[in-house]
Amino acid sequence: MAILDTLQKFGIKHKIHDPKKLDLEIAEVTREYIWQKNRLDKKRQFTSESDFETYLLLSLKNKDSSEYKTVNELMAKYSGNNLVHSAIYNQFIFGNAYPADLVVLTDGSINVFELKRDRLTSIIANQIEKEMRKHLYYSLLSERVLQKNVPKVFNFYLVCFCQGSRRTRDSVLNVYESLRGRIEYPRKNNLIFLEYEPRDGTLFLFQA
């Protein structure tokens, strides 16, 4: 109550609450809103990774969307699970406060989606290595994953606008293989390269 009272007095005194701003129309954030905001039919890329994350998250909440069906097929292919019996998180916290763009959990798998608005280049490869390292290890320690029945499959989906050169992909793959080789735990670890392409109001996801 003391904090609330202080904020209320502070707000009135300094006129923080502007009546004019309260009358502004608030936009509803939908898949269509994100699409138009980014003008994806013309620019072909998201303006930010947060918009990319928001769009995909909203798509996975809509079972009738094309994106939902695509991700569902990918999960079935690599883990034998689907989105119907899953928990979907954005900025999911693994263990020691390490966030991910998007995580889909099922009883048998952990599916991490690392989203990059641009194409895969050697410049962002170092950052990707850090992301792979933290999720490979902290997924084993996370309080959000039931330790009594730790999933037997870990899928790391790297989603970029374009996957770039074969040399860059091979470099990222070699790093991933080296990292997962150090984990002495009976779990299957997969790295899946995906590309995204906006087209006619639909975000297409396909393997590189």
What structural domains does the chain harbor?
31-207 (3.40.1350)
Q: Per-residue confidence at 25, pLDDT binned at 50, 70, 90? A: low
Higher-scoring residue by pLDDT: 148, 103: 103
Place of tokens 């502004």: 24
CA distance 136 to 179: 8
Higher-scoring residue by pLDDT: 81, 57: 57
Arithmetic mean of pLDDT over the chain: 82
Give Cα separations from 64 to 7, 53, 68, 136 (angstroms): 44, 18, 7, 31
* Mean of pLDDT values over 170-174: 94
In the prediction, which pLDDT does 80 show?
84
SS (H, E, C) 162-189: CCCCHHHHHHHHHHHHHHHHCCCCCCEE
Higher-scoring residue by pLDDT: 92, 196: 196
**In the predicted structure, residue 105 carries a pLDDT above the cut 80:** yes
**In the predicted structure, residue 7 carries a pLDDT above the cut 60:** no
Q: pLDDT (tens digit, 9 = 90+) per residue, 78-100? A: 988 889 888 888 866 555 445 66
In the prediction, which pLDDT does 195 show?
95
In the prediction, which pLDDT does 14 show?
47
Out of 11-20, 103-112, 151-160, pick the least confident. 11-20
Give Cα separations from 200 to 39, 44, 53, 59, 83 (angstroms): 11, 10, 19, 15, 24
Q: Per-residue confidence at 169, pLDDT binned at 50, 70, 90? A: very high
CA distance 109 to 163: 25
Higher-scoring residue by pLDDT: 194, 163: 194
- Residue 194: strand pairing partners: 159, 207
